[in-house]
Chains A and B, each alone.
Chain A
Amino acid sequence: MRVYAAVIYVFLYGPIALIVLFSFNAGRHASDFSCCSASWYGRAFGNPFMMEALINSLLIALCTAVLATVMGTMAALALQRVRGVLRLMFDGLTYTAIIIPGIVIGIATLVALVTVFDAVNPLLAAAWPANLGQAPRLRLGTGTVIAAHTLFTMALVIVIVRTRIQDMDRSLIEASSDLYAPPMRTFFQITLPQIFPAVMSGFLLSFTFSFDDFVIAFFVAGADTTLPIYVFSSIRRGVTPEINAIASVVLAVSLTLLFVAQALQSRRRRYRSP
Chain B
Amino acid sequence: MAKAQQSDGSRSVVTAMLLLPTTLWFLLLLVLPLVVILVFSLGERGPAGGYQPAFTLAQYANLPARLKAFTNTLTLAPLGTVLCLLFAYPLAYFLGVRASARAKPLLLALVVVPFWTSFLIRTYAWIFILGGRGIPALLAQFGLDDVRLINTPFAVLVGIVYGYLPLMVFPIYVSLEKLDKRLLEASADLGASPLRSFLQVTLPMSLPGIVTGCLLVFILLMGEYLIPAILGGGKVFFVGNALVDLFLQSRNWPFGSAVAVALVVIMLLAVTGYLYFASRGRRREDVSVI
* Contact A247-B26, Cβ < 8 Å, known A79-B19, A99-B219: no
B225 CB contacts on chain A under 8 angstroms: 103, 215
From A74, A104, A151, B223 is in contact (CB under 8 Å) with A104
Q: Determine whether B107 belongs to the interface, using a CB cutoff of 8 Å to chain A.
A: yes
- Partner of A9 from the list B11, B99, B110, B271 (CB cut-off 8 Å) is B110
Are B11 and A81 in contact, with the CB atoms below 8 A?
yes
- A144-181 residues with Cβ-Cβ distance < 8 A to B are 147-148, 150-151, 154, 158
Q: Mark A102-146, 1 if CB is under 8 A from B, else 0.
A: 111101111111011000000000000000000000000000000
Shortest CB-to-CB span from A91 to chain B, Å, is: 11
B8 to chain A, nearest CB (A): 10
Interface string of B30-47 (1 = CB under 8 A from A): 111110110010000000
Q: Does A71 contact B (CB under 8 A)?
A: yes
Contacts known (A18-B129, A19-B121, A112-B32); A103 close to B110, Cβ less than 8 A: no
Most chain B CB atoms below 10 A, which of A99, A103, A110, A251: A103
Q: Is A96 an interface residue (CB 8 A)?
A: yes
* Contact between chains at A93 and B30 (CB < 8 Å): yes
Contact for A75 among B19, B116, B121, B267, CB less than 8 A = B19
Q: Size class of B's contact patch? A: 35 or more
Q: Which residues of chain A are near B129, meaning CB under 8 Å?
A: 14-15, 18
- CA of A234 to CA of B126, assembled, Å: 16
- Give the residues from 213 to 258 in chain B that come closer than 8 angstroms, CB to CB, to chain A: 219-220, 222-223, 225-226, 230, 240, 243-244, 247-248, 253, 256-257
Q: For this complex, into which size category does the number of interface residues on chain A fall? A: 35 or more
Contacts of A78 in B (CB 8 A): 14-16, 18-19
Contacts of A219 in B (CB 8 A): 247-248
A82 contact from B15, B40, B114, B124, Cβ within 8 A? B15
Task: Tell whether, in the assembled complex, residue A239 and residue B87 are in contact, meaning their CB atoms are under 8 Å apart.
Answer: no
- Please give me the 3 A-B residue pairs with the lowest Cβ-Cβ distance, nearest first: A101-B223, A15-B125, A108-B33
